[in-house]
Structure 1
Amino acid sequence: MSEEPAPLRATGIDQSFGDVEVLSDVSLSVDRGEVAAIVGPNGSGKSTLLRILAGISPPDDGTVTVPADAGGARSLGFLPQRPAFREGFTARDTLGFYAQLLDGVDNEDVAETLDLVGLAGVADRAVGSLSGGMTRLLGLGQAVLGDPAVLILDEPGSGLDPAMVERLFGIVGNLAADGTAIVVASHELPAVEAHADTVFLLDEGDFLASGSPTALLEETGTETLSEAFLQIVGTRAGETTVRAGVGRRANETETGGKRDDE
Structure 2
Amino acid sequence: MEPTIEVRELSKRYRTTVAVDELSFTVRAGEVTGFVGPNGAGKSTTMRLILGLDAPDAGQALVSGRPYWTLRTPLTQVGAALDASAVHPARRARDHLLWMAHSNGLGKRRVAEVLDLVGLASAGRRRAGAFSLGMQQRLGIAAALLGDPPVLMFDEPVNGLDPDGIVWIRGLMRSLAAEGRAILISSHLMSELEGTADHLIVVGRGRLIADTGVAELLAAASRDHVELTTGHRTEATTVLANAGATVTVTGPDTVVVEGLAGERVSALLTGADIPFTEMRRHRASLEEAYMDLTRGALEFVPGAGGSDR
TM-score range, shorter chain: 0.7 to 0.9
CA contact (8 A) 1:14 1:24 kept: yes
Q: Which residue of 1 aligns with 2:289?
A: 228
Q: CA deviation at 1:66?
A: 1.5
Letter in structure 2 aligned against 1:11: R
1:138-186 Cα deviation digits (max 9, x unpaired): 0111111111221111111111122212211221222222222111101
Partner SS state of residue 157, structure 1: coil
Deviates more, 1:174-183 or 1:63-72: 63-72
Task: Give the deviation of 1:76 after TM superposition.
Answer: 1.4
**Given the alignment, which residue of 7, 14, 19 partners 1:17?**
14
- Return the offset for 1:210: 2.2
Q: Per-residue deviation at 1:70?
A: 10
Residue of structure 2 equivalent to 1:80: 82
User: Which residue does the alignment assign to 1:243?
Assistant: 299
1:168, 1:44 → 2: CA distance? 25
* Residue of structure 2 in register with 1:99 after alignment: 101
Query: Which runs of structure 2 are paired with 1:187-198 in the superposition (5 Å)?
Result: 187-198=188-199
CA distance in 1, matches of 2:181, 2:124: 25
Q: Does 1:132 align with 2:117?
A: no
Inter-partner Cα distance in structure 2 for 1:43 and 1:25: 16
1:168 aligns with 2:224: no
- Would you say the 8 A contact 2:3–2:181 is kept in 1? no
Runs of 5+ unmatched residues, structure 1: 236-240, 245-249, 254-262
Q: Deviations over 1:89-110 (max 9, x none)?
A: 221121112111112x212111
Tell me, in whole angstroms, the C-alpha distance in 2 between the residues paired with 1:217 and 1:16.
33
Corresponding position of 2:275? none
> Any conservation in 2 of the 1:70–1:148 contact (CA below 8 Å)?
no
Q: Output the CA distance in 2 between the equivalents of 1:93 and 1:5.
A: 32
Distance 1:172 1:71, change over 3 A: farther
Moved over 6 A (4+): 69-72
Shift, 1:48, TM fit: 0.7
Aligned partner of residue 230 in structure 1, secondary structure: helix
Contact 1:117 1:171 in 2 (8 A): no
The answer to whether the Cα contact below 8 Å between 2:84 and 2:136 also exists between their aligned partners in 1 is no
Q: How far 1:84 sits from its partner (Å)?
A: 1.9
How many percent of aligned residue pairs carry the same amino acid?
Answer: 32
Q: Name the CA shift for 1:135/1:82 in 2 (closer, same or farther; >3 Å).
A: closer
Q: d(CA) in 2 for partners of 1:232 and 1:147?
A: 35
State the TM-score, normalized to the length of structure 1: 0.84
Cα-to-partner distance string for 1:185-217 (whole Å, 9 max, x where unaligned): 011211211111111111132221221211111
Alpha-carbon deviation of 1:73?
5.6
Paired amino acid for 2:53: I
Higher RCO (C-alpha under 8 Å, 6+ residues apart) = 1
Structure 1 residues 30 and 85 mapped into 2: Cα distance closer, same or farther (>3 Å)?
Answer: same
Alpha-carbon distance, 1:5 to partner: 4.9
Task: For residues 118-154 of structure 1, give each alpha carbon's deviation from its aligned partner in whole angstroms, at most 9, with x where no partner exists.
Answer: 1112122111111011011101111111112211111
Change (3 A) 1:60 1:142: same
Distance in structure 1 (CA, Å) of the matches to 2:109 and 2:219: 46
Tell me whether 1:57 sits opposite 2:54 in the alignment.
yes
What is the DSSP-based 3-state SS (H/G/I as helix, E as strand, rest coil) of the residue aligned with 1:179? coil
Higher strand share: 2
1:39 aligned to 2:65? no
Alignment of 1:141 with 2:197, yes or no, is no
Structure 2 gap segments, 5+ residues each? 223-282, 301-305
Do the aligned partners of residues 89 and 81 (structure 1) sit closer, same or farther apart at CA in structure 2, a change above 3 Å counting? Answer: closer
Match in the other structure for 1:123: 124
Q: Which amino acid aligns with 1:165?
A: I
